[in-house]
């Protein structure tokens, strides 16, 4: 029941975006009828999305052919707003992708370029002046939240690494990796020598 409600909500949001930004429809034509499945690890939930040419369809328990399957946490998925992050996240093992990479890149690119004129849409209900003011206030609030989030992350990381000593500092991790590589090389050389001695 809850899964069906979430799926219906996601479909409604996507189709609302489509109506607010009609230019997106032209960009979506290249991924028309292709199915993108997204597994949200935090919720152990997979949803499938496809664009029919006129609207989005979102499925909860999709059993048919999938063109691209992505599996990641919510935090990782939120980083896909920047399409250039996709390959980095795959390399770092934060995101698993099976199937058509270009489909995932296309969706990421399309939604990263969304530029909905909220002031124009709000002006129909509250007038031009209040709409502009409201959008400006919301942008400032978003910027402040982003700055506070950055400060909080930096402070928390510093506290855990330097004060409480419960997290590994990036420099310590780099040194550990360097020592591990060096040890691996020594072990390989030693193994080669042992094999040479045994071969005599």
Distant-in-sequence, close-in-space partners of 114: CB < 8 Å, separation ≥ 6? 17, 21, 24
* Main-chain phi, psi angles of 147, to 5 degrees: -65, -45
Q: Is 114 helix (H, G, I), strand (E, B) or coil?
A: coil
* pLDDT tens column, 28-82: 888 899 999 999 888 888 899 999 988 899 998 888 899 999 999 888 888 887 7
Which range has the worst mean pLDDT, 42-46, 77-81, 113-117, 188-192? 113-117
Contacts 24+ apart (CB under 8 A), 24-29: 24/110, 24/114, 25/54, 27/109, 27/110, 27/113, 28/110, 29/53
DSSP designation for 160: I
Which CATH homologous superfamily contains domain 2-112? SCP2 sterol-binding domain (3.30.1050.10)
Which range has the worst mean pLDDT, 13-27, 68-82, 129-143? 129-143
What's this model's pTM, rounded to 2 decimal places? 0.57
| Arithmetic mean of pLDDT, 5-27 | 82
* pLDDT tens column, 55-66: 899 998 888 899
Q: Domains of the chain: which residue ranges?
A: 2-112, 118-199
């Amino acid at each position: 029941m809850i899964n069906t409600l979430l799926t219906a909500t996601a479909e409604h949001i996507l189709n609302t975006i489509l109506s607010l930004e009609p230019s997106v429809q032209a960009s979506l034509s290249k991924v028309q009828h292709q199915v993108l499945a997204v597994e949200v690890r935090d919720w152990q939930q997979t949803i499938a999305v496809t664009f029919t040419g006129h609207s989005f369809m979102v499925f909860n328990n999709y059993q048919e052919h999938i063109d691209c399957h992505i599996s990641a946490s919510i935090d990782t998925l939120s980083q896909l707003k920047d399409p250039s992050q996709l390959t980095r996240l795959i390399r770092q093992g934060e995101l698993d992708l099976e199937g058509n990479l270009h489909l995932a890149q296309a969706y990421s690119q399309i939604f990263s370029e969304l530029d909905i004129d909220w002031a124009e849409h709000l002006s129909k209900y509250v007038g031009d002046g209040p709409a502009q003011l409201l959008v400006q206030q919301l942008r400032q609030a978003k910027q402040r939240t982003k700055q506070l989030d950055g400060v909080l992350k930096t402070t928390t990381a510093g506290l855990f690494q330097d004060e409480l000593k419960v997290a590994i500092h990036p420099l310590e991790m780099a040194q550990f990796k360097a020592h591990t590589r060096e040890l691996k090389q020594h072990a390989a050389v030693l193994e080669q020598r042992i094999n040479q001695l045994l071969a005599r």
